[in-house]
Structure 1
Amino acid sequence: MRVVSGSARGLKLQPVPGMNTRPTTDRVKESVFNIIQNRVRDARVLDLFAGTGQLGIEALSRGAKTCDFVERDRVAFATVKKNIAAARLVDRAQLHSTDADKFIAYAKKDAYDLIFLDPPYGGKILTAALSAIETFDILSTNGIIICESAVEDVFTSGFETVKTYRYGATLITVLQKGGRTDETNENCDLPGQL
């Protein structure tokens, strides 16, 4: 698990001890950032189920303006903190040791241009997070949400699906607010740009 590109390129990130987290593989992470590369620079980012913090760290390394890392597990939170310090990105990172739903409820409207959602697989937590993001309207007008789930997970949201990408047993779904004119191309197995 390493930072793929940017100011912290090549940095090996520390995993969370134990079996409670499932880090995004380097292959999936690199593909995700290839897809969203034009959306990262100067973005306000939320890494909602941070785990190791690798998605938010990658975004900051590639020029995102700020990132809020939210992680309720104490061991994972300590790992995120260490990884941010090792990447020398502390000045643009904010860490929050709290539940995702509590954080969302207090976030500002239109606060984020890019939201990463990589909760435990199963679909229920993802559906709940998406519902809260929509209710509290924390995604900017032109912002996107990147959801990681198992291929078999079922989740719903009021957001528009821009594209889906399958990487083995992992599904990446790109969402945005409805009413935008971006072309949709669901169930695409090949990486592309947004």
Structure 2
Amino acid sequence: MRVISGEKKGLPLKAVPGKSTRPTTDKVKESIFNMIGPYFEKGILLDLYGGSGGLSIEALSRGMEKAIIIDQDRKAIHTIKENLAKCKYETKVEVFRNEAKKAIKALIKREIQFDLIFLDPPYAIEDIANEIAIIADFELLKKSGVIVCEHSKERALPENIGDLTMTRQEKYGDTCISIFQF
């Protein structure tokens, strides 16, 4: 696993030890950023299932200015912090150990809006459609923002969730990438 492009291009990243997380492959990560970027001029991102932090670090390397990364796994939080330190991104990122729905509620109270949101839950606990509906209802995504969902190809997502529409979907083996926008 590595940073594919931007200011930290080529920097290797650690994976979360064990089998509790499923890291996004470099091929899928590159495809995601080709769909939504590939580069950014500032912006704030939310990663609700941080894993190793690889997607957020890639977005920061490509120009995002700040990130909030959430994960409920202790090993994932430790790995995220190690990877952020390696990239010298500690001051750009807030990291929280929390369950996704609780984190969303806390973010609603902060009245913050995001330019980019990553939803890449473990396939066994996917509740992406409900999470997108809450994000839309409470205006956590800017009107010009993008939600990137990485999910099992076995789990179909609706074309429309609230005011958000699936604008693109690509399949890579068992993985499906769905992009939602207003």
Distance 1:36 1:124 in 2: 22
Match of 1:169 among 138, 160, 174: 174
Distance 2:49 2:77 in 1: 10
Residue 26 of structure 1 and its aligned partner are, at CA, apart by 0.4
Name the structure with the higher strand share: 2
Q: What amino acid maps onto 1:48 in structure 2? A: L
Residue 123 of structure 1 and its aligned partner are, at CA, apart by 6.8
Bigger CA drift: 19-28 or 113-122? 113-122
User: What pairs with 1:117-132 in structure 2 (closer than 5 Å)?
Assistant: 117-122=119-124, 124-132=126-134
How many positions carry a matched residue from both structures? 177
Query: CA offsets per residue over residues 143-168 of structure 1, 9 Å max, x none?
Result: 01000011111334322111111112
Aligned to 1:180: none
Aligned to 1:9: 9
Match status 1:142 vs 2:152: no
Identity %: 40
Structure-2-length-normalised TM-score: 0.91
Structure 2 residue runs of 5 or longer lacking an equivalent are none
Structure 1 residue runs of 5 or longer lacking an equivalent are 178-194
User: Relative to structure 1, is the Cα distance of residues 45 and 55 closer, same or farther in structure 2, using a 3 angstrom cutoff?
Assistant: same
Q: Secondary structure at the match of 2:146?
A: strand
Residue 122 of structure 1 and its aligned partner are, at CA, apart by 4.5
User: What pairs with 1:1-194 in structure 2 (closer than 5 Å)?
Assistant: 1-37=1-37, 40-107=40-107, 108-109=110-111, 111-122=113-124, 124-156=126-158, 157-158=161-162, 159-177=164-182
User: Relative to structure 1, is the Cα distance of residues 99 and 76 closer, same or farther in structure 2, using a 3 angstrom cutoff?
Assistant: same
Structure-1-length-normalised TM-score: 0.85
> RMSD in angstroms over aligned alpha carbons?
1.6
Q: Secondary structure at the match of 2:22?
A: coil
Distance 1:123 1:17 in 2: 20
Q: Secondary structure at the match of 1:55?
A: helix
Query: CA offsets per residue over residues 33-83 of structure 1, 9 Å max, x none?
Result: 111115633021011100000000000111101010111111111000000
